[in-house]
Amino acid sequence: MEKSEELLKQLGAVGELADDELPLAETALDLAALDHDAIDLKPYRDHLTKLTEDSRAGLAMLRRGMNEVEALARALSDTIAVRHGYAGDTATFDDPQNADLIRVIDRRRGLPVSLGILYLEVAKRLGGTAKGLNTPGHFLLAIGEDERAKVLDPFNAGVVMSQEELRPIPPVPQGEVAEYGPVSARDVLLRLLNNIRTRALAGKDMLRALTMVERMVLIAPRRAELWLDLANANREAGRLKGAFRAAECCVQLAGDKSLVGREAAFTLLSLKRMVN
């Protein structure tokens, strides 16, 4: 089995996992490896281990003068941003490398969400509670829970945000992800891939955009709206058979009574007119 086929098989298995079982950084590395022929991921996995070990050592010292949440937040920023030099890429923000975790580790530069993956991964390995937040336009993360939580900005050296810098975080409505509410590891990865997709669309690279949607569906196969996106991406790329299959999957998942299901059914009709 070729390396890319093996990776796709692994990512397909990730798509079947529950959100809380999904290995965040490992999956991000596998997604990045699809764009790097025959790359050895061991040095990158070892680097994640090194980040964890260094953070653990810092946490042990900080616990003497801080509460657990404050100590963890400080240990993460001291280790990832200060000791290992990770920072937001302000010079070439739209460079696709910033959403590729392999290149982020190589360059120590990235987008808020790709840098956030490092913070979330290390926090989890240290036994802490950490979640990405559904913040519009700029990815933030929360360390700890409830009123004790500290909100970090991974793009800006892991600085803790003050209450004055944040809007109040509303409760999450049932069945929805509220703005500023917590999101799953799967949603973090989808946000990462969507960054690449958005830049591909801006550059009129429809095949690259299609590839990103295919990867999004691979790790989140039960999201009906992604199948609709895949149908539209296939149609834009001139791949009508793929568009048919994706639209049919969307209808099967969403049903023809839901908004996304009705939209997929309309897409099927328009595709039939195109080939008749």
What are the tens digits of pLDDT across the range 225-265? 999 999 999 999 999 999 999 999 999 999 988 999 999 99
Lay out the sheet containing 159-160: strands in order across. 159-160, 150-153, 140-143, 130-133, 182-183
Confidence of residue 71 (pLDDT cuts 50, 70, 90): very high
Confidence of residue 50 (pLDDT cuts 50, 70, 90): very high
Q: What is the pLDDT of residue 135?
A: 85
Q: How far apart are CA 140 and CA 155, in angstroms?
A: 8
Number of C-beta neighbours around residue 129 at 10 A? 15
- Give the pLDDT mean for 142-167: 84
Confidence of residue 155 (pLDDT cuts 50, 70, 90): very high
Hey, where are the domains in the chain? 3-185, 222-276
pTM for this structure?
A: 0.91
Q: How far apart are CA 180 and CA 187, in angstroms?
A: 13
Phi, psi of 30, rounded to the nearest 5 degrees: -65, -40
Residue 169 pLDDT > 60:
no
Q: What is the pLDDT of residue 42?
A: 97
- Give the pLDDT mean for 119-131: 96
Half-sphere exposure in the Cβ direction for 246 (13 Å, CA): 27
CA distances from 195 to 14, 35, 93, 142 (A): 20, 15, 11, 21
Confidence of residue 104 (pLDDT cuts 50, 70, 90): very high
CA torsion sign, 239 to 213 to 87 to 52? negative
Residue 273 amino acid letter: R
Cα 9 vs. chain centroid, distance in angstroms?
A: 19
Lowest mean pLDDT, pick from 29-43, 45-59, 154-168, 235-249: 154-168
Residue 213 pLDDT > 60:
yes
The answer to whether the beta carbons of residues 108 and 22 sit under 8 Å apart is no
CA dihedral 233, 243, 252, 18 (to 10 degrees): -40
Confidence of residue 137 (pLDDT cuts 50, 70, 90): confident
Confidence of residue 136 (pLDDT cuts 50, 70, 90): confident
- Give the pLDDT mean for 2-15: 90
More confident residue, 258 or 165: 258
Confidence of residue 167 (pLDDT cuts 50, 70, 90): low
Strand-pair partners of 133: 140, 182
Confidence of residue 176 (pLDDT cuts 50, 70, 90): very low
Spatial CA neighbour of 272 closest among 240, 231, 239? 240
